[in-house]
A = this chain, B = another copy of it.
Amino acid sequence: MKAYKVLEVKQSVFAANDKEANELRLNLKEKGVFLLNLMSSPGSGKTTTLQRTIEALKDEMKIGIMEADIDSEVDAQTISDTGVKAIQLHTGGMCHLDAAMTKQGLEGLEIDEIDLAVLENVGNLVCPAEFDTGSSKNAMILSVPEGHDKPLKYPLMFSICDVVLINKIDVLPYFDFDMEKCREYVHMRNPQAKVIPICARTGEGMDEWYDWLRHEVQNWKKK
């Protein structure tokens, strides 16, 4: 039996999205629910990063996960195995989530009981950056095999993210990835962005990420 629900979400009108996103954010602030929008390319390690993050933080806060995918359920199964509440959002071919879709997902999660809700967005460095989901903060993962030049090629995504996790640093010896250049390019797009090198598989660097997230969740609950 599946330990998660499957929702078919529909796109709202683009023009109304910003308004809807702001209303959702205010509503979440009132309820003390921190919503993290997690974005990346396909295969950069969103689900593995989330698995470890859940393991590290689930005893100190209530966590709910929304897995957005075009039509599979691979990730919701993986996440629900960690014991936290997970829901699968099917976008029906859509390449991103907007605020209305996110709101439908949060309703499915029963948000009043949750401290940290994470939206694992569709794997895509372009479209998800264009739609405000109503999130408290935006995070993205860039993995080492993708190359350090990605902030030059996908400027909007890097400019809207509060934190950029550089994942798969265990394979740095096998790729031409220049961490300092990567930091420089990220900061060209967004001087405020926090850059954290991690390896979700081995756990290296993850403590700095947990500290960032823990701090943001606590901060969000303050009036």
Interface residues of A (CB under 8 A from B): 41-44, 69-72, 74, 93, 95, 122-127, 130, 143-147, 149-150, 152-156, 168, 170-171, 174-175
Contacts and interface: CB of A to CB of B under 8 A. Distances in A.
A43 B174 contact: no
Which of A74, A95, A130 is the most central at the interface, judged by chain B CB atoms within 10 Å of its CB? Answer: A95
Nearest to A170: B174
B168 A123 contact: no
A146 B42 contact: yes
B174 A70 contact: no
A42 B144 CA distance: 12
A126 to B, nearest CB: 4
Given A41-B41, A74-B152, A123-B125, 17 more contacts: A44-B146, A70-B126, A70-B155, A72-B155, A93-B156, A95-B124, A95-B126, A122-B126, A123-B126, A124-B124, A126-B127, A144-B145, A145-B145, A145-B146, A145-B168, A170-B174, A171-B174
Contacts of A69: 153
Contact of A70 (B44, B144, B154): B154
A42 B174 contact: no
Given A93-B156, A95-B95, A174-B174, A125 B42 contact: yes
Nearest to A126: B95
A41 B123 contact: yes
A43 B146 contact: yes
29 contacts: A41-B41, A41-B43, A42-B125, A42-B150, A42-B153, A42-B154, A43-B146, A43-B147, A44-B146, A69-B153, A70-B126, A70-B155, A70-B156, A71-B155, A72-B152, A72-B155, A74-B153, A93-B156, A95-B95, A95-B126, A123-B126, A123-B154, A124-B125, A126-B127, A127-B127, A144-B145, A145-B145, A170-B174, A171-B175
Which of A42, A93, A143 is the most central at the interface, judged by chain B CB atoms within 10 Å of its CB? Answer: A42
A14 B148 CA distance: 34
A123 B69 CA distance: 18
Contacts of A41: 41-43, 123, 146
Contacts of A42: 41, 125, 146, 150, 153-154
